[in-house]
Amino acid sequence: MTVLDGIRTVTGHIGYPPSWDCEACGEPWPCPNFQTIPPDRLTTSTLIPVMAFLLSRAIKDLRGRPEGPEPPEIVQRFVWFLPLSDDEARAIALRLR
Ligand SMILES: [Zn+2]
């Protein structure tokens, strides 16, 4: 996915489908290192369209795994920078499935 290749070039931290684990850290992506990249390098206005684009694919890949996250948790993980309530995350997940 070219969007992901772009993020990889800019940040060095990327997780590809279907595992969505960070290549550099092995953590679930967006990994803690990615999330601490300062806003002057990775702005919210950049992140929102990218994460919205990736979320439905990530939900399809990750939901229903034995130890896997539930769709609302996947929403929270990919848009960690927005203050979403559990109800809002659930509503977003329902629209993306
Ligand atoms: Zn990482």
User: Ligand 1 centre from 6 Cα, in Å?
Assistant: 15
Q: Is 28 helix (H, G, I), strand (E, B) or coil?
A: strand
Give distance in angstroms: CA of 11 to centre of ligand 1: 9
Q: Block means of pLDDT (10 residues each) for the chain, length 97 residues?
A: 88 95 97 92 90 94 88 96 96 92
pLDDT at 15: 96
In DSSP terms, 15 is beta-bridged to 22
Can you give the residue ranges of every domain in the chain? 2-96
> Residue 64's pLDDT is what?
82
- Quote the ligand 1 centre to 39 CA distance (angstroms): 17
pLDDT at 42: 87
Distance of alpha carbon 41 from alpha carbon 11, whole angstroms: 9
Q: What is the pLDDT of residue 1?
A: 67
